[in-house]
Amino acid sequence: MDQLDRKIIAELRANGRATYADLGRTVGLSASSVHERVGKLEAAGVITGYHAMVDPNTVGLGVTALVGIHPTDTATDEDVAASLGELPEVESCYAVAGDEAFVVKVRVSTVDELELTLGRLRRIPGVGRTNTTVVLSTRFEGRPNNAGLDEDPASGA
C-alpha cells in the first residue's frame, strides 16, 4: 500500500459515495486506475465495507454509555465477547488492558432503557461487575486517522 492508496482510503472515509472519477481528480489518477486500486484494497481486506453514518439522536438512540466489563475468574473472553455481541444495544466492544477485560459502547433511547441493558449485561455468565460512564455529549466520533498522508515515505518523515 502506497501513499496514493492511503489518499484514496482517506477520501473514501470522508465520502464513501465518491465516484472513481471524483477520487481520481482528487488523487491525480484516472478513474480506471482508481477503480483498480480500490478493487485491490477491497480484495486485500483493507476496505471492509461501506455504510451510512446516522445521527443516533435522530433515530431515537439519545443515550450513550461506555461500560467497563470486569470478568469473573472463571470467565473466558471469547464467551463473554460472544454474549456481548448478542445484545443489539452494544454498538462496539473493545478488549482492553487493565482491570476491565472489555469496554463496550451502548446506545439506547432512555436512561430507563440503559438501566435495563446494564441488568442484562450483568447477567451474562462470566461478567463479575460493570463500571458505567454516561456520555453527556459527543464532541467528535469515528474520525479517521489520516496522519502521515502528506509525508513522503521515501524521506522517512
Q: Phi/psi of residue 85, each to 5°?
A: -65, -15
Contacts 24+ apart (CB under 8 A), 142-146: 142/53, 144/10, 144/13, 144/14, 146/6, 146/10, 146/13
Q: Is the pLDDT of residue 156 over 80?
A: no
**Residues across the chain:** 157
* Domains of the chain: residue spans and CATH: 3-44 (1.10.10.10), 56-135 (3.30.70.920)
pLDDT digits (tens, 9 = 90+) for 81-121: 999 999 999 999 999 999 899 999 999 999 999 999 999 99
pLDDT digits (tens, 9 = 90+) for 119-140: 999 999 999 999 999 999 999 9
Instruction: Give the integer Cα–Cα distance in Å for 100 and 81.
Output: 13
The pLDDT value recorded for residue 51 is 87
Cell of 36: 483498480
In contact, 107 and 141? CB cutoff 8 Å: no
- pTM exceeds 0.85 for this model: no
